[in-house]
Amino acid sequence: MRFAHFVAIDWSGAAGERHPGIAVALCARAPGSGTTAPRLVRPGHRWSRPEVLAWLTTDLPPDTLVGLDLGISLPFADRGAFFPGWPRSPATARQLWALVEELSAADPHLGVAAFVDHPEAARHFRRHGARQGDRFPPGRGRFRATEHAQQRMGCRPTSNFNLVGAAQVGKASLSGMRLLHRLPPTLPVWPVDPLPAHGSVVLEIYTGLAAIAAGRPPGRTKMRTIAELNAALAHLASDPVPGAGGIADHASDALLTAAWLRHAHARPELWHPPGLAEVARTEGWTFGAI
């Protein structure tokens, strides 16, 4: 219960500078009940990815638990490597972030086009235009241990090696790795880094898990009205957000997940899921997947 603030960031890997799909939500652990409603940071603002990085670096409140809705790594345990057969395949998640940054350095806005077009990396991804690498396996692709845990909880995750389709999160995850690589050492990323006794921490979230925990059915996790959002917030002992009518699902995802982090962060089992030790420094984990 040492965290004082909770942030959830709905992220985007889309091309371009500014993205309506990025939303940043914040709530506090107030004295007593701690039920104050979450709020959007810079409501109405269209964020760029570098702006989110700058906000995390310079404006983050103290003792904040930050959730990023993206995959912080790629599958490793199933093949013993991120990119089997490539001599440059990294050995850890942090080395993976560095490789993505190195090969994408010329891409603006934390983009990753150069990385996914690299002749060796491209062999492992499913890309647009029916371009499927010869090392992308048949079917849905490779999954991390945490994504198998998500499936057991009723979710349907998509492989981070898949860059095609509305449900894909591969581009967001890769662009997020450039952000993670650029974070200061004072902002550790769990579980790639050990959980420190003090200060702020960044971790991976899956907004669908928060929605399920708030009473939404697994196939209907998106909330597009204030009424739907407030009904879910009530499950998390949170005050309602003001207003009525429609709301963008990116905003509702971030608002609900910030409240869920406040509600769930003190559960010890979420910090110690089965199998974490074997993959912490390579694949990472999604907070809340058990």
Per-residue pLDDT of 186-230, as tens digits, reads: 999 999 999 999 999 999 999 999 999 999 988 788 999 999 999
Q: Is the pLDDT of residue 32 over 60?
A: no
Residue with tokens 């010869």, as numbered in its chain: 134
CB 226 within 8 A of CB 247: yes
- The mean pLDDT of 17-41, rounded to a whole number, is 88
Task: Render pLDDT for 260-284 as a digit per residue (tens, 0 to 9).
Answer: 999 999 999 999 999 999 999 999 9
pLDDT at 182: 98
- Count of Cβ atoms closer than 10 Å to residue 107 Cβ: 17
pLDDT, residue 1, reads 73
Where is 147: in which H helix or E strand?
Answer: helix 145-152
pLDDT of residue 221: 85
The band of 34, judged by pLDDT with boundaries at 50, 70 and 90, is: low
CA 264 vs CA 52, 74, 260: distances in Å: 24, 25, 6
Domain boundaries, the chain: 5-72+183-271
Q: Distance between CA 151 and CA 66 in Å, rounded? A: 23
Work out the mean pLDDT of the chain and round it to a whole number: 95
Least confident piece of the model among 31-40, 44-53, 85-94: 31-40
DSSP states of 31-94: STT--PPPEESSTT--EEHHHHHHHHHHTPPSSEEEEEES-SS---TTTTSSSTT-TT--SSHH
CA-CA-CA-CA torsion sign (196, 253, 167, 104): negative
Angle at CA 257, nearest 5°, toward 251 and 260?
145
